[in-house]
């Protein structure tokens, strides 16, 4: 069997070897690697495409190992494993309060903020904050519901999926 993976690794020496050596020890054969060092993500991680070969058990063990290492698996055989959502938070409140809201979102389980853009109005009261989050595909609706609750509690208007 063959499995194509797209993962995102921190840009520090040895990260790729730390994944590939254990896969090899499980009996998986790594047949291709594309390391996109010049194509970093917004949070500075490096996309790595690779193909591993082995029995179904070996491949399942390999994917489980990668997840245990807290490595972001973006795709497995072309199927997205995480999904990005973009929201706007609107409010007539001080910027610091909107940033407190962003911190609450960042603390949610299974949610990772990949970017934040803040636009402050002329009177320093009207603010618009664009927040891009990443979730696992099966957590998308729950994450949206939780972000909506936070926005409601902080008296902000939430515009979903811009």
Considering the domain architecture, whether residues 50 and 107 belong to the same structural domain is answered as no
Considering the domain architecture, whether residues 27 and 94 belong to the same structural domain is answered as no
Considering the domain architecture, whether residues 38 and 72 belong to the same structural domain is answered as yes
Per-residue DSSP letter, 76: E
Give, in degrees to the nearest 5, the angle at Cα 83 between 81 and 89: 155
- Identify the pLDDT of residue 123: 62
Considering the domain architecture, whether residues 19 and 48 belong to the same structural domain is answered as yes
Residue where a domain terminates, one of 32, 55, 80: 80
State both tokens at 8.
């995102």
User: Which residues, listed in sequence order, are joined to residue 47 by a DSSP beta bridge?
Assistant: 8
Considering the domain architecture, whether residues 108 and 59 belong to the same structural domain is answered as no
Considering the domain architecture, whether residues 46 and 108 belong to the same structural domain is answered as no
Considering the domain architecture, whether residues 36 and 64 belong to the same structural domain is answered as yes
Q: The domain that contains 120 carries what CATH number?
A: 3.30.70.260
- Identify the pLDDT of residue 86: 93
Quick: pLDDT tens for 72-85.
888 899 887 878 89
Residue where a domain terminates, one of 45, 80, 115: 80
- Identify the pLDDT of residue 126: 76
- Identify the pLDDT of residue 122: 67
Considering the domain architecture, whether residues 73 and 11 belong to the same structural domain is answered as yes
Domain count, the chain: 2
Considering the domain architecture, whether residues 43 and 106 belong to the same structural domain is answered as no
Considering the domain architecture, whether residues 86 and 74 belong to the same structural domain is answered as no
List, for the chain, all residue ranges whose pLDDT scores fall below the cut of 50: none
Considering the domain architecture, whether residues 134 and 124 belong to the same structural domain is answered as yes
Residue 1 three-state SS: coil
Question: Using CA atoms, how far apart are residues 102 and 105, in angstroms rounded to an integer?
Answer: 5
Give the residue ranges of DSSP H helices in 27-123: 56-68, 95-106
Domain residues for the domain of 68 are 2-80
The answer to whether 93 touches 127, Cβ cutoff 8 Å, is: yes
Residue where a domain terminates, one of 46, 80, 114: 80
- Identify the pLDDT of residue 146: 93
Measured CA to CA in angstroms, residue 29 lies from 19, 24, 37, 135 at distances of 13, 6, 22, 30
Question: Using CA atoms, how far apart are residues 30 and 24, in angstroms rounded to an integer?
Answer: 7
Quick: pLDDT tens for 30-63.
999 998 888 887 678 899 999 999 999 999 999 9
User: Which residues, listed in sequence order, are joined to residue 73 by a DSSP beta bridge?
Assistant: 7
Question: Using CA atoms, how far apart are residues 54 and 27, in angstroms rounded to an integer?
Answer: 7
Question: Using CA atoms, how far apart are residues 78 and 60, in angstroms rounded to an integer?
Answer: 16
Question: Using CA atoms, how far apart are residues 47 and 130, in angstroms rounded to an integer?
Answer: 24
Question: Using CA atoms, how far apart are residues 91 and 121, in angstroms rounded to an integer?
Answer: 10
Considering the domain architecture, whether residues 90 and 71 belong to the same structural domain is answered as no
């Amino acid at each position: 069997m063959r499995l194509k993976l797209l993962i995102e690794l921190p840009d520090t020496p040895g990260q790729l070897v730390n994944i590939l050596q254990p896969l090899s020890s499980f009996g998986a054969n790594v047949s291709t690697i594309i390391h996109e060092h010049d194509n970093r993500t917004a949070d500075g991680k490096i996309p790595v495409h690779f193909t591993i070969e082995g029995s179904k058990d070996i491949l399942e063990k390999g994917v489980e190992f990668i997840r245990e290492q807290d490595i972001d698996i973006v795709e497995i055989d072309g199927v997205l494993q995480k999904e990005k959502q973009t929201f706007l938070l609107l409010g007539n409140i001080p910027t610091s309060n909107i940033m407190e809201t962003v911190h609450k979102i960042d603390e949610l389980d299974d949610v990772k903020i990949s970017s934040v853009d803040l636009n402050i109005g002329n009177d320093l009261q009207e603010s618009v904050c664009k927040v891009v989050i990443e979730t696992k595909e099966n957590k998308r609706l729950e994450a949206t519901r939780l972000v909506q609750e936070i926005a409601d509690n902080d008296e902000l208007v939430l515009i979903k999926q811009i």
